[in-house]
């Protein structure tokens, strides 16, 4: 069965963002793991090629080997720097430039947070930072809410991808508004990847069934009791949801329709 899934997946087009193509539609974060060894095993199991990282001060009083690059091979994974923790456009732009300077690529997962309790985006700051960074040659992947108008403005501002949330960051509440996500996907030309809120494999599958181009997740894997096994479950769920979307599901009916022939009954 695994072989069949792999063969079918080959018929899918790659995920292309900002001129780069990826086979896997699952993108994963590197935060919150109990150990670096567990993180590496989970990322391997997920099959992800794009891996997000945060930019932070070096802790000068501790081991210099706590940097992520000592644990994750940047030639094997596409490192996507984020601007997590930034509350203004200016701050996010500063972090994006620092992330680019690390020297791996021009991509940034742009976050401009507007509220500490919900971590929902400051959409005005987000659009403004997207405009600035896109003009500087960044491939901006913008974390946003599930609002169509904001998504359209981000596309106009030059975002390479728009990343609406399924539900708040780290909440694990799953896809709260499938309609909004479907609508955003239908209206945008740039890739739409759902970022944040997925809690378990069925959430990932349902999200992919809406037709989005991919999913980025972190906590659902990192906080699972067995992170590597959850990563594998997420990999299958993303593939299953994608195949279900591509295959075109049956219509919903309010009445039953028998599966066995009525003709030939005794």
Partner 1 sequence: MTRLTVIVNGDQRVIDGPATLADLLRQLDLDPRMVVVELNREIVRRPRLAETEVQHGDSVELVHFVGGG
Residues near partner 1 (CB under 8 A): 29-33, 39, 52-58, 60, 64, 66-70, 79, 81-82, 84, 94, 97-99, 101-103, 169-170, 196, 216-219
At its nearest, how many Å lie between partner 1 and the CB of residue 93? 12
Q: Which of 64, 109, 186, 189 is catalytic?
A: 109
At its nearest, how many Å lie between partner 1 and the CB of residue 10? 29
- The per-residue b/e assignment along 53-92, b for 16 or more CB within 10 angstroms, e otherwise, is bbbeeeeeeeeeeeebeebbeeeebbbbbbbbebeebebb
At its nearest, how many Å lie between partner 1 and the CB of residue 65? 9
Smaller CB distance to partner 1: residue 29 or 125?
29
Smaller CB distance to partner 1: residue 104 or 245?
104
- For residue 80, give the 3-state DSSP assignment: strand
At its nearest, how many Å lie between partner 1 and the CB of residue 153? 24
CA dihedral 131, 137, 168, 230 (to 10 degrees): 170
Smaller CB distance to partner 1: residue 12 or 44?
44
- By CB atoms closer than 10 A (0-12, 13-18, 19+), residue 189 is exposed
Known catalytic residue at 109: yes
Smaller CB distance to partner 1: residue 153 or 164?
164
At its nearest, how many Å lie between partner 1 and the CB of residue 252? 34
End-to-end CA distance of the chain: give it in Å, rounded.
Answer: 38
Smaller CB distance to partner 1: residue 68 or 244?
68
DSSP one-letter code for 158: T
Contact between residue 143 and residue 195 where contact means Cβ atoms under 8 Å apart: yes
Q: For residue 65, how far is the Cα from the chain centroid?
A: 27
Read off the tokens for 140. Answer: 């901006």
CA distance 167 to 148: 15
Q: For residue 81, how far is the Cα from the chain centroid?
A: 13
The answer to whether the Cα torsion of 59, 60, 66, 72 is positive or negative is positive
Q: Which residues are identified as catalytic?
A: 109
């Amino acid at each position: 069965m695994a072989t069949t899934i792999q063969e079918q997946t080959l018929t899918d087009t790659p995920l292309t963002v900002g001129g780069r193509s990826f086979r896997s539609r699952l993108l994963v974060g590197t935060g919150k793991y109990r150990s670096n060894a567990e993180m590496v095993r989970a990322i391997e199991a997920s099959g992800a090629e794009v891996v997000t990282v945060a930019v932070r001060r070096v802790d000068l009083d501790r081991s210099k080997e706590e940097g992520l690059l000592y644990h994750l091979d940047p030639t094997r994974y596409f490192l996507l720097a984020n601007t997590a923790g930034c509350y203004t456009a200016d701050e996010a732009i500063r972090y994006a430039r620092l992330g680019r300077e690390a020297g791996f690529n021009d991509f940034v997962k742009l976050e401009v947070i507007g509220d500490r309790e919900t971590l929902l985006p400051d959409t005005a700051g987000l659009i403004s930072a997207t405009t600035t960074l896109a003009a500087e040659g960044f491939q901006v992947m913008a974390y946003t809410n599930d609002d169509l108008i904001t998504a359209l403005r981000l596309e106009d501002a030059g975002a390479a991808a728009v990343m609406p949330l399924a539900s708040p960051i780290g909440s694990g509440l799953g896809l709260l508004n499938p309609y909004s996500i479907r609508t955003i996907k239908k209206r945008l030309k740039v890739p739409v990847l759902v970022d944040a809120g997925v809690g378990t494999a069925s959430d990932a599958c349902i999200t992919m069934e809406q037709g989005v181009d991919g999913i980025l997740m972190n906590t659902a894997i990192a906080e699972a009791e067995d992170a590597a096994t959850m990563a594998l479950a997420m990999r299958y769920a993303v593939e299953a949801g994608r195949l279900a979307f591509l295959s075109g599901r049956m219509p919903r009916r309010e009445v039953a329709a028998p599966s066995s022939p009525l003709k030939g009954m005794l």
